[in-house]
């Protein structure tokens, strides 16, 4: 193809969309030191984005779940949108399902009949946020509404005044109502105009430091890199009226795949509150993922303000309620995020885990695991093995899952066998297969020589007598040595002219208890310098050692 045919039509898109000249920005030098106020919009933004929205019973169940997780602000829906939405709000109120410290939030456009229906839904509520919005972006003003700036401001102010009038009946009856305003499409709105319209809304509502209003700055569509959003938020925080009477909230969407980053930078820029959803579910590409953001704070030693130590339950409830699946690489929650296929990663994980569980340091540190899965209610997933894996992963699986503390040199040899199996089958190898293969290749091998009964006596040196079957023929062998293993080696040499040295040996208990088994590992070296490993397993450690020797000899003869 010609070069011009390969190029995409990038010229049709604007460069530096609403980039700001905020030369004295302060957010890059700031640090997040505490969690924001979290507001779940799963039941509104998340629910409206589902192929099959939740029914009333499912919404009630999911609301209870969000309360258990610890959300104190929960946007429960758009009561004027449908009878289901309206009845959901009424059910929560009438059945007294809202804890005293939880604010339900309802969304309404700045249109009189919608505002009236929304406020009607809140009769008898203890605590609620009325969330008013209208779109303010240059594009929406020009293309959708065909209105000038002052006309858009009038819509927002008129809506605010009507909300204030209508909720008075609720507050007089004992309800506590907080007001929230969103200049929808904030990221596509001129920064000075966003300040102007929000200041006009605040003038109409008249918040104070005790009864604060929420101004929510949504990235309704993510138009730029996160640093630009942070500049917009910082500019707004500097210029909005009565900052001490305003809670600055953000509601990023994920059109560029940067919603979490944009939210974190917005927090550096002054945002006090974050609206988002579990696992980022929401319109189009989704919302900012509250779970990721909260656990990012957790991983830095900051209280996330949410209870996320039951990840499997969170996943189960979410998937049942939304009928959506969690991607296997989702941060913190994905099936594959607490494991590794790479050999170097597996080795580092194994060594770090060994240090952590033996030395018990104050802080969690692991080169490839930012949090301990156990802190999230997850069981540490044993290392996954494929053709890219190395000896570290094989050793980890054998040790943690099956109790085999295999010597490093033997693991290295066996890892090549594992890699070859995976490579030929083009597949991941399950731990059980790795266990089966090491037993088939190394443990209690009796292909040529087979151990029968044996006994030994000690009188300065050890003398062993053993029954050995070779190729179906029975032999009685004897030998002397410094110990049972050395004596058995000499017995093989005396009878079968097997001339090898013991190059390495180790042993350990495989299980605990009176009926526990032991494993022994031995490396034998022939006169040409060749090394062959064998493993023996038995309830008797001496028997395990001799079986390991027999296994190694059988493997050596097999190689010959």
For the chain, how big is the Rg over CA atoms in Å? 34
Mean of per-residue pLDDT scores for the chain: 91
In this predicted structure, the answer to whether residue 473 has a pLDDT above a threshold of 90 is yes
Q: Which superfamily does CATH assign the domain made up of 30-322 to?
A: Aldolase class I (3.20.20.70)
Q: Where are the domains of the chain?
A: 30-322, 346-439, 449-559
pLDDT on residue 427: 66
What does the pLDDT average to over 486-515? Answer: 87
The Cα 111–Cα 158 span in angstroms is: 9
pLDDT on residue 560: 47
Output b/e per residue, 100-134; b: 16+ Cβ within 10 A: eebbbbbbbbbbeebbebbbebbeebbbbbbbbbb
Q: Using one digit for the tens of pLDDT, what is the confidence trace for 379-394?
A: 766 555 665 555 666 7
Q: Using one digit for the tens of pLDDT, what is the confidence trace for 301-360?
A: 999 999 999 999 999 999 999 999 999 899 999 988 887 767 677 778 888 888 998 999
pLDDT on residue 53: 92
pLDDT on residue 15: 72
Q: How confident is the model at residue 80 (pLDDT cuts 50, 70, 90)?
A: very high
Tell me the CA distances in angstroms from 232 to 155, 219, 236, 505, one per residue in order. Answer: 23, 10, 6, 67
pLDDT-above-90 percentage for the chain: 76
**449-559 and 30-322 share a CATH fold:** no
Q: Using one digit for the tens of pLDDT, what is the confidence trace for 401-447?
A: 888 999 988 988 888 888 777 677 666 678 888 889 899 999 999 99
Judged on CB neighbours under 10 Å (0-12, 13-18, 19+), 346 is buried
Q: Using one digit for the tens of pLDDT, what is the confidence trace for 93-111?
A: 999 999 999 999 999 999 9
The verdict on domain 449-559 having CATH code 1.10.540.10 is: no
Q: Using one digit for the tens of pLDDT, what is the confidence trace for 123-145?
A: 999 999 999 999 999 999 999 99
Q: Which of 204, 208, 211 is nearest to 176 (CA)?
A: 211
Q: Using one digit for the tens of pLDDT, what is the confidence trace for 65-76?
A: 999 999 999 999
Q: Which of 78, 169, 173, 83 is nearest to 132 (CA)?
A: 78
Q: Using one digit for the tens of pLDDT, what is the confidence trace for 224-275?
A: 999 999 999 999 999 999 999 999 999 999 999 999 999 999 999 999 999 9
Question: Higher-confidence residue: 367 or 514?
Answer: 367
Q: Using one digit for the tens of pLDDT, what is the confidence trace for 262-273?
A: 999 999 999 999
What does the pLDDT average to over 15-29? Answer: 83
pLDDT on residue 433: 85
Question: Higher-confidence residue: 472 or 79?
Answer: 79
Q: Using one digit for the tens of pLDDT, what is the confidence trace for 517-530?
A: 999 999 999 878 88
Q: What is this structure's pTM?
A: 0.74
Structural tokens at position 541? 């450690």
pLDDT on residue 156: 98
For residues 304 and 298, the answer to whether their CB atoms sit within 8 Å is: yes
Residue with tokens 């629910």: 47
């Amino acid at each position: 193809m010609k070069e011009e045919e390969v190029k995409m039509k990038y010229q049709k898109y604007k460069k530096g969309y609403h980039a700001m000249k905020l030369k004295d920005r302060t957010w890059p030098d700031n640090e997040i030191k505490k969690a924001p106020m979290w507001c779940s919009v799963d039941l509104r933004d998340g629910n409206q984005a589902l192929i099959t929205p939740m029914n009333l019973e499912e919404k009630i169940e999911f609301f209870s779940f969000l309360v258990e997780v610890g959300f104190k602000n929960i946007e429960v829906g758009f009561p004027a949108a449908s009878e289901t939405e309206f009845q959901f709000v009424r059910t929560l109120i009438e059945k007294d399902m809202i804890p005293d410290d939880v604010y339900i939030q309802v969304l309404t456009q700045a249109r009189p009949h919608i505002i009236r229906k929304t406020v009607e839904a809140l009769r008898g509520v203890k605590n609620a946020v009325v969330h008013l919005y209208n779109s303010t972006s240059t594009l929406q003003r020009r293309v959708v509404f065909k209105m000038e700036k002052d006309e858009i401001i009038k819509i927002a102010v008129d809506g605010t005044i009507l909300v204030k009038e209508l909720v008075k009946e609720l507050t007089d009856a004992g309800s506590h109502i907080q007001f929230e305003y969103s200049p929808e499409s904030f990221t596509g709105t001129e920064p000075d105009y966003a300040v102007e319209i929000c200041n006009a809304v605040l003038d109409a509502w008249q918040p104070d430091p005790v009864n604060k209003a929420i101004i929510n700055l949504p990235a309704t569509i993510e138009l730029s890199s996160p640093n630009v959003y942070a500049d917009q938020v910082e500019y707004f925080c500097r210029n909005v009226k009565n900052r001490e009477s305003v809670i600055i909230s953000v509601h990023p969407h994920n059109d560029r795949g940067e919603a979490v980053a944009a939210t974190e930078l917005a927090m550096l820029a002054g945002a006090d509150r974050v609206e988002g959803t579990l696992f980022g579910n929401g319109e189009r590409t989704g919302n900012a993922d509250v779970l990721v953001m909260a656990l990012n704070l957790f991983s830095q030693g900051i209280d996330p303000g949410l209870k996320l130590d039951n990840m499997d339950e969170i996943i189960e409830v979410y998937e049942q309620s939304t009928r959506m699946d969690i991607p296997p690489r989702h941060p913190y929650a994905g099936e594959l995020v607490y494991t590794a296929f790479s050999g170097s990663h597996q080795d580092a994980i194994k060594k770090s885990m060994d240090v952590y569980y033996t030395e018990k340091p104050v802080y969690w540190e692991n080169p490839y695991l930012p949090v301990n899965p156990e802190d999230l209610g997850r069981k540490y997933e044993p290392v996954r093995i494929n053709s890219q894996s190395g000896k570290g992963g094989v050793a980890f699986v054998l040790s943690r899952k099956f109790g085999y503390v295999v010597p490093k040199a033997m693991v290295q040899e066996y890892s090549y066998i594992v890699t070859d199996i995976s490579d030929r089958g083009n597949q991941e190898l399950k731990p059980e297969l790795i266990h089966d293969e090491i037993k088939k290749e190394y443990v209690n091998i009796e292909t040529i020589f087979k151990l029968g009964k044996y006994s030994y006596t000690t009188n300065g040196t050890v003398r062993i007598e053993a029954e050995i079957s070779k190729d179906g023929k029975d032999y009685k062998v004897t030998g002397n040595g410094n110990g049972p293993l050395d004596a058995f080696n000499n017995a093989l040499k005396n009878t079968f002219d097997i001339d090898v040295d013991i190059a390495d040996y180790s042993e350990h208990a495989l299980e605990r208890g009176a009926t526990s088994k032991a494993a022994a590992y031995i490396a034998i070296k022939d006169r040409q310098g060749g090394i062959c490993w064998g493993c023996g397993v038995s309830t008797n450690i001496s028997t395990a050692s001799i079986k390991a020797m027999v296994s190694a000899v059988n493997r050596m003869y097999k190689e010959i």
